[in-house]
Amino acid sequence: MADPLDAYSHVVSSVAAELLPKVASVRAGRGSGSAVVFTADGFLLTNAHVVGSSRSGTVGFADGSAGDFLVVGRDPLSDLAVIRAQVPTPAPAVLGDSDELVVGQLVVAVGNPLGLTGSVTAGVVSGLGRSLPARSGAAVRLIEDVIQTDAALNPGNSGGALADSRSRVVGINTAVAGIGVGLAVPMNATTRSIIAALIRDGRVRRAYLGLVTSPAPLPEALRRRTGQDGALRVVEVVPGSPADRAGLRTGDLVLSAGRAPVVDAQSLQRLMFAEAIGRPLPITVFRNGALVDVIAEPVELTGAQA
């Protein structure tokens, strides 16, 4: 008998068979969505907005098993949360690396949209390197390198898996930006460090400089001198902040931080994790026609700064 499935269908159906048991439906307070088993001892990855401020909830799997979970940690500024099931869980999914994705690549979304447990959609990577604002109190950060896909996502897909053709989870579905436009938090080195911090500490410690910036092009002479096309223009320096104490000024062009080029907001943002707290951070700015070096010492981001 002829095989009724073409190559595309074989890939999608094999990914579905592999991941459907490992993607759970979750409910926490008024929120609901999906979560992905990623360790053998019951840890699942989901979106921070799915669990909200809840400390616990219920989790259900494709085989009909269900039970309670506890929130281990959440990070609204990356829209990630780790929960731990209080019941036995299926074998974990394999986490991939979104840095290996290319535009046009096949991806499969697995989740529980609109209460429809165990739903699978497929599409392609429509774009890479997108940014998605995330908020915690008054603090706003950009989730960087967000994956854009045309795989159909609906409410309830949040926290579910975006997988490649080898069933490796390359993203956690997080938002529907419009018809045919879904977004997923990437699975990369930054994400893995956030997950590790959530398991270890229940939260992610971030550094704070006290700068408000906007992207700015460099003058041609400065481009030739530095080899970079853009930088960050300082729009505001928070009084009394580490940036203020270091002598940074409104109008400065931030060219480098930590001896690495600063070409956009993400270049500076990715330095602002726990490792930077309390440590000297060399910053080079262009001011009044000259290069100026300063040393800032970031402090920990707190609710007062947020």
Identify whether 49 is a catalytic site residue: yes
User: Catalytic pick from 78, 136, 158, 267?
Assistant: 158
The helix/strand/coil state of 99 is helix
Identify whether 41 is a catalytic site residue: no
Identify whether 165 is a catalytic site residue: no
Q: Which residues contact 236 (CB under 8 A, 6 or more apart)?
A: 211, 212, 250
User: Catalytic pick from 75, 79, 145, 252?
Assistant: 79
Task: Give the integer Cα–Cα distance in Å for 306 and 302.
Answer: 6
CA 270 to chain centre: 11
Task: Check if the beta carbon of residue 47 is closer than 8 Å to that of residue 72.
Answer: no
Q: What one-character-per-residue DSSP string does the chain give? A: ------HHHHHHHHHHHHHGGGEEEEEETTEEEEEEE-STTSEEEE-HHHHTT-SEEEEE-TTS-EEEEEEEEEETTTTEEEEEESS--PPPPEE--GGG--TT-EEEEEE-GGG-SSEEEEEEEEEEEEEEEEEETTEEEEEEEEEEE-S---TT-TT-EEE-TTSEEEEEEEEEEETTEEEEEE-SHHHHHHHHHHHHHSS--BEE--EEEEEEEPPHHHHHHHS-SEEEEEEEE-TTSHHHHHT--TT-EEEEETTEE--SHHHHHTT-BGGGTTS-EEEEEEETTEEEEEEE--EE--TTT-
User: Catalytic pick from 25, 32, 49, 54?
Assistant: 49
Query: Please, how many CA atoms are within 13 Å of residue 199, restricted to the half-sphere of its CB?
Result: 15
Q: Which residues are annotated as catalytic?
A: 49, 79, 158
